[in-house]
Amino acid sequence: MQSQEKLLYFEYTIKSLINWYAELGCREEENNFSVLKSLKLLFFVSAANSEPSKKSLLLEDVFDEFFALPYGHVESSVYKEIKNQNGALNYYHINNSKVSLLENADLAVFEGLAPEITNEIDASIGYLKEANKFLVKMSPFDLVNLSHAWYSWQKYYKIAKDSGGLSSKIPFSIIKAEDKLFKLTTF
């Protein structure tokens, strides 16, 4: 999928996550959906319903470039678009502290997106709500710690470091096959 089209699905995901945040009694305009938090949540949405034995539309066709970086899983093409546009996306502005709806943004555009993809995003968010209804309220660094608990990040970040780098592409098959963690546990 081309980066600009992928960005629209990312923005749809952000809209849906902010709606979930509001359902928990939080004020949308006071969200803490920084770039870091938004990218962590994108990973969890993309991985939530994935299974080894079936095709994952989100991991294989839409958000198909997850890399292990120091702060966890990052969809590299989405991250590059955010950086290239200085956070000014099509309908939202995202920075290091929050996401804001752009003035005159018409979110009706999301109605024209492919329903098989938006339905998959919605189903994944529904799954996450059941797994941890407060996931969207977690701090960015708690989400980083949560992603660091995933095998895929541990293995592929180690590969990156062992080769002298800071990033390594994670095959979607590894994410699909691993245990999915959506809550931090204390020992």
pLDDT at 185: 79
Task: Give the position of tokens 């995933």.
Answer: 150
What span, in angstroms and rounded, lies between the C-alpha atoms of 121 and 144?
Answer: 21
Task: Assess whether pLDDT exceeds 80 at residue 41.
Answer: yes
Give per-residue pLDDT as tens, 144-173.
999 999 999 999 999 999 999 999 999 999
Task: Assess whether pLDDT exceeds 90 at residue 187.
Answer: no
What span, in angstroms and rounded, lies between the C-alpha atoms of 24 and 180?
Answer: 23
pLDDT band, very low/low/confident/very high, at 186 (cuts 50, 70, 90) = low
What span, in angstroms and rounded, lies between the C-alpha atoms of 86 and 170?
Answer: 26
Give per-residue pLDDT as tens, 127-150.
999 999 999 999 999 999 999 999
